[in-house]
Amino acid sequence: MSDAAGSTMVVIGAGHASGEFVTCLRQEGFDGRILVIGAESYLPYQRPPLSKTYLSGEVTIDSLYLKPLSTYQRVNVEFMLNMRVDKIDRAQKCVVLSDGRSVHYDKLAINTGGRVRRLPIPGAEQAEKASNFHYVRTIDDIDRLRRHMEHGRRLVIIGGGYIGLEAAAVATKLGLKVTILEAAPRVLARVTAPELSAFYERVHREAGVDIRTGVGVSGIEFDASNDAVSGIVCADGTKVPADVVIAGIGLIPNTELAEAAGLEVANGIVVDEYSRTSDPDIVACGDCANHPSALYGRVRIESVPNAVEQARAAAAAICGKLKPYTAAPWFWSDQYDLKLQMVGLSQGYEQLVLRGSTAGKSFAAFYLKGGRIIAGDFVNRLQEFMVAKKLVAEQIVVEPQVLADETVPLKTLLQK
Ligand code: FAD
């Protein structure tokens, strides 16, 4: 990918990965034209606050942008917003826009992120047209939702993942009466140990949230006008009345463009550790990309640090420099006064070691496999999280009792 001088780089998607990618491209020395085509009407912005401080109204839209327009202008990055790419024509080396025009590329980045998984139940399509039914992915979604976040209203959240729990924390603080319906036997079941799930369920219940686990949803009820959702029907026949509904049941990666263009797609656009696809002129980064991790095999990760790291590797690769993405994945979640930070992927762990007690508001949980630390969750433990990023990256072998002993500073484990 070193033949980039003077060429045109087209970037599909103006999200987090792209915001990082385009400025890195200039830093790496790319001197051609850079054009970002984004379906939303905004410059690249941070999504994490959407279910946190932007939903609560603590921050304004201006603070969401990754960089001001002037930064992009200074490095000569062009944007075409409110515009979808409908097709990638690899033979002609162009992308076809939703208004029918074509744009030539020499190099292409597919940073298309993902879209919300829609509720797969009867009535969902009608609910999506109702003003009080919401998904949580974009600024526009939250601007719609916020108008309904009024004190005393009954909010039903379908899905007890991070986004659902964060929205529940915000809504509770704003005085709404919140019910969470989670189909799995516990919240956060896909990503944490039962001990962590139990901790978060307790915290939410103490705050007044009605958490119902093992409860699938099977239908939606509407008011007499048929314009607003009035309740959710559970698989066991229970009806939960609602003034507002949020569905947060996951994400589907936007891989269709890549697939139709003949690129390899398998739970994400398949890339290498430099974010290169099977086409030497095309990179892909972020939620839509599936990359090889030295620690965990092939993974597709939905997180800001992942989007940023992949974007950096891609920018370097386009400029002929090979800087592999090797960092352990990490993520965070803010709920009430709890900052949760996670590093690594815990799937397949054999032993959980707690450091501190889940009865309080500060503890760590380490996931071990074959005696090695493969992941860790940290609640209000910033310093230990920083050390743990290295412990996980190095997959350190530890004695569980040493790890659990809070009198032993974690950093001493690194020195071995
Ligand atoms: P996106 O930021 O989704 O950007 C992709 C863009 O591409 C979108 O704007 C989309 O409209 C556009 N696009 C798609 N197809 C086309 C097309 N054909 N033509 C033109 N444009 C197109 N991560 C964390 O690490 N910590 C958190 O606390 C956290 N909280 C989150 C809270 C919420 C509510 C959400 C929604 C996400 C959160 N995430 C969090 C995840 C994080 O925001 C994503 O991992 C990150 O945004 C991924 O960046 P991306 O560039 O891959 O995708």
pLDDT cut 70: percent of the chain above it: 98
State mean pLDDT over 147-154. 97
Q: Which of 314, 305, 257, 10 is nearest to 114 (CA)?
A: 257
Amino acid at site 301: I
| Cα 16 to Cα 303: distance, rounded to the nearest angstrom | 10
Global pTM value = 0.96
pLDDT for the residue 5: 63
Indicate the pLDDT class of residue 395, thresholds 50, 70 and 90. confident
44 touches ligand 1 (CB under 6 Å): no
Residue pair 181/232 in contact by the 8 Å Cβ criterion: yes
In what order do the strands lie in the sheet containing 282-284?
A: 77-80, 33-37, 8-12, 107-110, 282-284
53 touches ligand 1 (CB under 6 Å): no
302 touches ligand 1 (CB under 6 Å): yes
- Mapping DSSP to helix (H, G, I), strand (E, B) and coil, where does residue 92 land? coil
**Cβ-based neighbours of 297, under 8 Å, separated by 6 or more:** none
In what order do the strands lie in the sheet containing 351-355?
A: 330-335, 338-344, 372-379, 363-369, 351-355
Is the predicted pLDDT of residue 165 greater than 70, yes or no? yes
Which of 11, 23, 42, 47 is the pocket-test mutation for ligand 1 (most atoms within 8 Å of CB)?
A: 47
Q: Are strands 177-182 and 210-213 parallel, antiparallel or unpaired?
A: parallel
Give the model confidence (pLDDT) of 327-364 as tens digits: 999 999 999 999 999 999 999 999 999 999 999 999 99
| Cα 279 to Cα 281: distance, rounded to the nearest angstrom | 5
38 touches ligand 1 (CB under 6 Å): yes
Is the predicted pLDDT of residue 4 greater than 70, yes or no? no
